[in-house]
């Protein structure tokens, strides 16, 4: 993708670093020679220096035939793939979760490239505290009182407002904006053009006009949050707008003032959440879903794509709702019928009464 030299690893090093990166939660056992690896490939096209991983037994044959230097699979799949004699070419990593191993290892193979230090053409105000291992690129802006942690990277054109805090190893992409007071935990990623800490949408009605209410809360992100390109997260009115650790937000999402998003949620692109709504932990929100303000969505809930949420009960649930797409004329006809639905229901009830009367009449006659 870029001219940057890609790193290579010994399989044993990779295992050690994945273990560390996963906070000791993901281990792997190497069987065979300690080979040099540099990238992942599909089993059928992998060769020397390549890794291939298996998560789906349907690809067992391709894996068995693979010329990859290193294959990664679950211990329980090993015999099914390679039979009693085992793999005869290249090495093997046995790992409880090969897909997670792929993700962690890929992070090591494609490290974020940046030159530590403040570029002479960056604009950094006096009174900003920037860790010497952090990188502030040319034409980035860091205002007074801002603090930037170790190994964090602020790309060209990004704006870090007064008193904003950026934790260690955060990556702020070009032209992203962190307005004054915004707080990021560690290892957050903010994609290009995202705006954190813009004013919430607060106005007092006054004689048919709208009077702006200054928004004095902040936007606060936990550790390991990802914010997609051109996503916007407004600052709170008085309290903060909060996104919990590990939550991943896709592109063009809008979070209103005082929203409180839980931990380890995922939201697909184009979601909009009005102000003062709470979303619990581990929620999954489909693309282009629209969620009203002042709602609480319990932890573990899921919202389907293109779904409008205007309320919720106390229990976690999976909710979806969108008009099914129909071919041209069918849509017109179905939509027109839909608007008569209440009348249609009344007609049915009336007919039910009529039939009941007829039935009674006939019974009487029979009797």
**For residue 295, what is the DSSP state?**
-
99 binds its own copies (CB under 8 A): yes
Q: Which of 69, 91, 252, 277 binds its own copies (CB under 8 A)?
A: 252
Instruction: Quote the distance between the C-alpha of residue 367 and its chain's center.
Output: 71
The label of the residue with tokens 């995202």 reads 194
**Which CB atom, from 87 or from 155, has the smaller least distance to its own copies?**
155
Least distance (Å) between residue 321 CB and its own copies: 4
Q: Which of 51, 52, 97, 241 binds its own copies (CB under 8 A)?
A: 97
The tokens of 189 are what?
A: 């990623």
What is the rounded distance in angstroms from the CA atom of residue 34 to the CA atom of residue 9? Answer: 10
Segment lying near its own copies (by CB under 8 A), choices 7-15, 28-36, 57-65, 139-147: 139-147
Strand partners for 136: 118, 154
Residue list 181-200, contact with its own copies (CB under 8 A): 181, 189, 191-193, 195, 198-199
Phi, psi (degrees; rounded to nearest 5) at 356: -60, -40
80 binds its own copies (CB under 8 A): no
The answer to whether residue 257 is catalytic is: yes
Q: Which of 4, 58, 76, 88 binds its own copies (CB under 8 A)?
A: 4
Q: Which of 168, 282, 283, 285 binds its own copies (CB under 8 A)?
A: 282
Q: Which of 54, 87, 102, 242 binds its own copies (CB under 8 A)?
A: 102
220 binds its own copies (CB under 8 A): no
108 in Cβ contact with 21 (< 8 Å): yes
> Could you give the C-alpha distances from 65 to 3, 232, 328, in angstroms and in order?
32, 48, 49
264 binds its own copies (CB under 8 A): yes
Give the chain's largest Cα–Cα span: 104
Q: Which of 7, 61, 65, 212 binds its own copies (CB under 8 A)?
A: 212
Residue 222's nearest CA partner among 187, 181, 268 is 187
194 in Cβ contact with 235 (< 8 Å): no
147 binds its own copies (CB under 8 A): no
Residue list 25-54, contact with its own copies (CB under 8 A): 25-26
- Could you tell me which residues come within 8 angstroms of residue 25 by beta carbon, excluding any fewer than 6 positions away? none
Enzyme catalytic residues: 257
């Amino acid at each position: 993708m870029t001219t940057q030299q890609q790193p290579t690893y010994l399989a044993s090093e990779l295992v050690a670093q994945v273990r560390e990166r996963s906070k000791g939660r993901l281990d792997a056992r190497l069987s065979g020679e300690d080979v040099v690896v540099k990238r992942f490939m599909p089993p059928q096209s992998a060769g020397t220096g390549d890794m291939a991983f298996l998560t789906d037994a349907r690809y067992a044959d391709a894996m068995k035939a693979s010329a990859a230097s290193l294959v990664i699979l679950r211990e329980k799949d090993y015999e099914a793939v390679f039979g009693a004699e085992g793999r005869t070419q290249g090495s093997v990593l046995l790992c409880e979760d090969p897909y997670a191993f792929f993700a962690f290892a890929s992070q090591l193979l494609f490290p974020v490239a940046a030159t530590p230090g403040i570029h002479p053409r960056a604009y950094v105000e006096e009174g900003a505290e920037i860790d010497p291992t952090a990188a502030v690129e040319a034409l980035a802006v860091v205002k007074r009182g801002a603090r930037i942690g170790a190994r964090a990277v602020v790309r060209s054109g990004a704006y870090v407002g007064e008193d904003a805090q950026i934790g260690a190893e955060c990556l702020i992409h070009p032209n992203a904006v962190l307005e004054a007071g915004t707080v990021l935990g560690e290892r957050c990623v903010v994609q290009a053009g995202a705006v954190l800490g813009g004013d919430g949408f607060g106005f007092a009605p006054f004689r048919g006009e709208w009077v702006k209410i200054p928004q004095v809360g902040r936007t606060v992100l936990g550790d390991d949050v990802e914010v997609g390109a051109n996503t916007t997260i407004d600052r709170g009115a008085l309290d903060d707008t909060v996104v919990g650790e590990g939550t991943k937000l896709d592109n063009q999402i809008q979070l209103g003032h005082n929203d409180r998003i839980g931990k380890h949620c995922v939201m697909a692109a184009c979601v909009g959440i009005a102000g003062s709504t709470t979303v619990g932990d581990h929620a999954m929100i489909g693309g282009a879903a629209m969620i009203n303000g002042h709602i609480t969505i319990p932890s573990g809930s899921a919202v389907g794509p293109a779904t409008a949420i205007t309320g919720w009960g106390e229990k976690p649930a999976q909710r979806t709702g969108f008009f099914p797409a129909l071919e041209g004329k069918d849509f017109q006809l179905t939509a027109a019928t839909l608007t008569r639905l209440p009348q249609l229901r009344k007609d049915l009830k009336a007919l039910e009464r009529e039939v009941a009367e007829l039935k009674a009449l006939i019974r009487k006659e029979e009797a």
